Amino acid sequence: MAVAYELPALSKEAVANTASLLRIVILVFISGAAIASRLFAVINFESIIHEFDPWFNYRATKVLAKDGFYEFWNWFDPTAWYPLGRVVGGTIYPGLMATSGVIYNFLHALHLPVDIRNICVLLAPGFSALTAYATYLRICRSLGGHFIGIAPGYISRSVAGSYDNEAIAIFLLMFTFYLWIRALKQGSAFFGTLAAIFYFYMVAAWGGYAFITNMIPLHALALVLMGRYSSRLYVGYSSWYAIGTLASMQVPFVGFQPVRTSEHMGALGVFGLLQLIAFTELVRSHLPSKQFQLVLRASVGVLFVLGTLGLVVLTSKGWIAPWTGRFYSLWDTGYAKIHIPIIASVSEHQPTAWPAFFMDLNFLIFVFPVGVVLCFKELRDEHVFVIIYAVVASYFAGVMVRLMLTLTPCVCVSAAIAVSSLLDTYIDPEEPDAPEEPVPASSSSSTEADGSASAPASASAATPAATPKKQQSKKKSSGKKTGIYGLDTRLAVIGNTVFLMLVFVLHCTWVTSNAYSSPSVVLASRGPDGSQNIIDDFREAYYWLRMNTPETSVVASWWDYGYQIAGMADRPTLVDNNTWNNTHIATVGKIMASPEDKAYPILRKHDVDYVLVIFGGLLGYSGDDINKFLWMVRIAQGIWPDEIKEANYFTPRGEYKVDESASAVMKESVMYKTSYYRFSELFGGGQAVDRVRQQHLPKQGPTLDYLEEAFTSENWIVRIYKVKQDDPLGRDHKVANAFAAGKKRKRVRPTSRRKAPNQSNPAWYKDSLTNALRALAQKSKSTLPRDVYVTIEEAAGRTYIHEYYIRDLHAANPDRPVHPDSSFVYTGYKASLAILLSMVSQPGLDGTPGGKICRGINACLQDILALVRSKGNDVGRLFKDPEMNRLLANLANI
């Protein structure tokens, strides 16, 4: 056979050694590229933990590194889900923290004092290199490791600082699948046990372990249905399932779920099916054919009935839990929005937009189906697994953005198969021989040919069955050889393929550096000159909370920011990203959706000191709480449908607006008021504009009565409000604010315009201890001692506050009692009278000019105090008591 180009003459041993060296070098470069492409966040910003969940993981890892695994395992966090708290050790997947803790202790054992934060930041890039190697092991093609090393679909959850469970889970996913294929191909219990160990590691690290739990049984079931049952399948699956299930039950958060939840019943069912098939094969070898058929039919019928009946009974009794809401939402994309809005409110649980596939996979998404088709051509056991994985992951990635992460490894494997096959075909130097041209025959040779062919011709003519035409065509076609001719075709195809891979590298680098390397706690923008501006409002606000509030201050915010507040501000929170208590989250939603006067009792009931909201209207930050507000309303409506209705927050035309046309309920909500409070002041008297919603706000902004602004970050992204304490006089805060505003207006009123009381008319002091004391002080100012005069003035000021409040409430609603509980008035009266009595009863006043007045005041006050005490707490009756009016007149006329 001809060759397109010559290869150097090398021995097989030299070729093998060179290939091994190149393989190692290539894998090292792939690992380096995988790590380096994930360091943009550290280079552009700093070594910092990203997003939301990683902050809790980092906080938990610090506890493990500082106090040890035993304390971490029994850690109760009283600051989370205040006032309930959280048993952390039994409600998390500890694999990520344990991995970082082992690395931390190992490095410190080597006397390398690496900070735990740097380990957490760089853990995901380190494991991405292992993922690339695991992918190479699975398909023995370096392109697979190269693709998954830099694919944005995987990088999005594994950049430096993304300290989440997925940082190590994808490596465990790929390596567990690799060990399963090895166990299946070799029928090895050893590799089955290794697969079970890494499966246990996966269970301890990520809740997505259910993907492995169902993928391996689905593969085994498909092989059985294809007639490929073998002892290798039985040994590999049985060793994996038995050991892996027992090991997974050692994780406290998982417990008995592998045998009591619907998500795990598929694996258990396939395990039982394989045992039944193995037993059937054993019986087949000991029974005749007819007896075996009879026993088989009877056994299958009985076992099917018993199994179905047992499953129904156990499910109805609650021993087998139904599918969770997240699994239901995979089959019915509208289920969560209707029944469990807390699940639908998470952006990662939304259906995937089509451009996201190209964004995360680039040209791999086009060659991915080619790789799946090539698997059909060979269709060995491992190829069946890739096909099933491709179908399942493609569907799940389409219904949930988060599951793009599970599709990416399969796409990289299938694309590597396709591209490698293409390159192998066109790099192969062998090419078919050129077809021979027909040589014209001479007359003599043709005669000889005719003569020599006469005998066979006659023989064939005598034979009744001639050679079929199809057989002749096959003989003719067998002489033609297919293949690649020349270097020009090879170079064209190889050049285009290499060009696509170079574009893929550029695309991955751009997407990684611009879209997936920005920590959510630190934002960045570009100026007109291209310079980068850092927006650090989140850390600024959390630092203010940490440094300016007591350690016991409770912060109420939407659950998205709970982990960040606990990690950076170190303050208790009502809710956080664990989202285990839907009612508690709905309570926060109700607070945000209610008017101030209705939200205030809930805030006080939960001991909330500060309310934190995220507002992007000034800077154009679209991820603010106003855009999430409808989800808060929906979640609250699920618990309190009579109090919170989503329709009330839309305009009459059904629009979600924040401008003049916004509904009254929307404008009165705590979320609206805390977001737009004082916002119009930034526009110098002009009309304020929300840059996110692109709407003009009302010129008159909202006011606050029960909350007061405590802190607003530089760019107004984070706004913190302090919840006012109960009024010391027991007044409603709205009334107290109105009263305070009234006092200020009276103070600026010119003195010349004030009208003095008509002292000739004794009725002016009727029903008023305040006026009586003021009249007494004015009348006796020249004769009373200075300290007695000042005390009378101060007592008048105290009683004025109490009497004003009672009269104001009574004037607003004359049909109800003056005050339901006026004990504070009673206390104030007694305090004022007691101080006056102590002052006018001082020894040595008898010989002074004011001694007679003080004796009269003393006697009158004694009578008033006795009357006040006789009324108990219902001081309101004093205003209509004639005896009180007589005593007040006597006091004023002393």
CATH number at residue 695: 3.40.50.12610
Structure tokens at 859: 């006697």
Distances (CA, A) of 698 to 453, 679, 694: 106, 10, 13
pLDDT of residue 777: 76
429 assigned to some structural domain: yes
pLDDT of residue 456: 42
pLDDT of residue 526: 81
Domain boundary among 675, 706, 723: 723
Say which residue the tokens 């150097």 belong to: 8
Residues 567 and 504 in one domain: no
Contact (Cβ atoms closer than 8 angstroms) between residue 117 and residue 19? no
Residues 147 and 14 in one domain: yes
187 assigned to some structural domain: no
Residues 429 and 546 in one domain: no
pLDDT of residue 96: 96
- Dihedral sign for Cα atoms in the order 381, 384, 388, 390: positive
Residues 617 and 715 in one domain: yes
Contact (Cβ atoms closer than 8 angstroms) between residue 393 and residue 439? no
* Cα 95 from Cα 216, distance rounded (Å): 21
Residues 796 and 647 in one domain: no
- Express the helix, strand and coil content of the chain in percent, nearest 5 each: 65, 5, 30
Q: How many CB atoms lie within 10 A of CB 107?
A: 15
Residues 509 and 537 in one domain: no
Residues 537 and 497 in one domain: no
Domain count, the chain: 3
Contact (Cβ atoms closer than 8 angstroms) between residue 205 and residue 96? yes
250 assigned to some structural domain: no
* Cα 31 from Cα 160, distance rounded (Å): 15
Spell out, as residue ranges, where the chain has pLDDT lower than 70: 1-7, 292, 321-329, 332-339, 431-485, 742-768, 781-782, 786-787, 797-832, 835, 839-850, 871-880
Residues 70 and 145 in one domain: yes
* Cα 314 from Cα 470, distance rounded (Å): 63
191 assigned to some structural domain: no
Residue from 162, 161, 169 nearest 134 by CA: 169
* Cα 120 from Cα 123, distance rounded (Å): 5
Structure tokens at 654: 């059904």
Domain boundary among 707, 723, 739: 723
Distances (CA, A) of 526 to 194, 534, 535, 538, 716: 50, 9, 11, 19, 18
740 assigned to some structural domain: no
For residue 839, the number of C-alpha atoms closer than 13 Å in the C-beta half-sphere is 22
Structure tokens at 94: 């500890």
Structure tokens at 193: 């046990």
Contact (Cβ atoms closer than 8 angstroms) between residue 98 and residue 167? no
254 assigned to some structural domain: no
Q: Which domain holds residue 618?
A: 533-723
4 assigned to some structural domain: yes
pLDDT of residue 93: 94
Structure tokens at 826: 């009673």
Residue from 698, 366, 690 nearest 504 by CA: 366
Backbone angles phi and psi of 720, in degrees to 5: -120, 130
Residues 544 and 669 in one domain: yes
Residues 704 and 576 in one domain: yes
Q: How many CB atoms lie within 10 A of CB 52?
A: 19
Contact (Cβ atoms closer than 8 angstroms) between residue 763 and residue 892? no
Q: How many CB atoms lie within 10 A of CB 19?
A: 10
Residues 559 and 707 in one domain: yes
Residues 602 and 693 in one domain: yes
Helix (H, G, I), strand (E, B) or coil at 610: strand
The whole-model pTM stands at 0.76
Report which DSSP code applies to 519: -
* Cα 404 from Cα 395, distance rounded (Å): 10
750 assigned to some structural domain: no
Cis peptide before 83 (omega within 30 of 0): yes
Crossing angle for the helix pair 53-67 and 95-109, nearest 10 degrees? 50
pLDDT of residue 599: 96
Residue from 254, 259, 237, 241 nearest 311 by CA: 259
pLDDT of residue 5: 64
